[in-house]
Structure 1
Amino acid sequence: MPEPQITEKPDGYFTCPVRRTMSIVGGKWRLLIINSLLDGPLRFNELKRQTGKVSQRLLTAQLRALEEEELVSRKILNVMPPHVEYALTEKGMGIKTVIDAMYAWGEKELQADHPRDAIR
C-alpha cells in the first residue's frame, strides 16, 4: 500500500483517507454509538444505556457531530411525551464492515489475552 501524503488544508480537509476517517469517527464514544445503532434505531436513553458511562452532555455532542457528518439521523416521534429516535443513515451503515473487522480483531485479542474470558 502506498504511503499517503498527510496534509491538512486550511479548511480542515484531509488528504489522507485514514486521517479523514478518524476525523469523522474518532471522537470519544462515536464508534460505540455507531455500533449500537447497527441493529436499528434507538432512543436517547437506550443509546445512553448501551454505551455505558457516557454523560448525557457528551452523548448529545457526539450525536450532533455524527448528524453533521450525515452518519446519524434524528427523528422526533409524534407521541406523548415526545421521543427522539436516532438511526444510522445509508452513509453511516457504510462503516459496518469496518466495525465488523474491528470486532473480529478485538475478539482475537481478547482470546489471546484471556482465552477463558473471551466472548463467544
Structure 2
Amino acid sequence: MTEEQLRIAESKRLVRGDKTYSTPIEVTLDVIGGKWKAVLAYHIIQGPQRFSELKRLVPGITEKMLTQQLRELERDGVVSRTVFAEVPPRVEYRITEHGASLQPVLAAMCSWGREHWQQSAASTND
C-alpha cells in the first residue's frame, strides 16, 4: 500500500451502530479476533460440527467460553446453529455462506502460522 493509499484509508472511519472502526482490519478482528473464534471457524468451515465435537477439537476452551464464542459467531452471521428435537438435544453448527468467505483469510493465517513456526524452529536450532 502506498503512503497516499494509507492516508486515504486512515481518513475513512467505518461506523456501525455504536462501534467506530479506523480500519477494515478492526472489523475483521471484531468478528474473528481473540483466542478462539478463528479456531472455531476453522473447524466449522471443514464441515458441520456438534458442540461436543468442538469442545474436543479445541482443548483448553471452557464450555462457557465455547458457548459465548459460538453465539458471537452466530450473531455476526459466520455460523448457523441448528437444534434437533431429539433426546438428548443435539445442536449442530454450520458455516454460513458469509462465513465461508473467511476461508481464504483462515488459509492465509494457517500458511503464515506454519511458516512462522518453521522459521522460529529454525532460528532456535542455530
Q: TM-score range by the shorter chain?
A: 0.7 to 0.9
Output the TM-score relative to the length of structure 1: 0.86
Q: Which of these two proteins has the greater Rg computed from alpha carbons?
A: 2
Please name the residue that 2:82 is paired with: 75
Going by fraction, where is helix more abundant, 1 or 2?
2
Partner of 1:46: 53
- Spell out, residue by residue over 1:71-120, the C-alpha distance to the aligned partner (whole angstroms, 9 max, x if none): 010001232211000111011111000111111111111222225xxxxx
CA distance in 2, matches of 1:12, 1:44: 30
Partners of 1:28 and 1:62 within 8 A in 2: no
| Residue matched to 1:95 | 102
Give the TM-score, by structure 2 length. 0.82
Q: Which has the higher strand share?
A: 2
Q: 1:30 and 1:77, CA in 2 relative to 1: closer, same or farther beyond 3 A?
A: same
Partner of 1:118: none
Identity %: 35
Give distance in 2, aligned partners of 1:27 and 1:48.
17
- RMSD in angstroms over aligned alpha carbons? 1.7
List alignment gaps of at least 5 residues for structure 1.
116-120
Query: Corresponding residue for 2:10?
Result: 5
Q: Equivalent residue for 1:31?
A: 38
**Amino acid of the residue matched to residue 49 of structure 1?**
R
Count of aligned pairs: 115
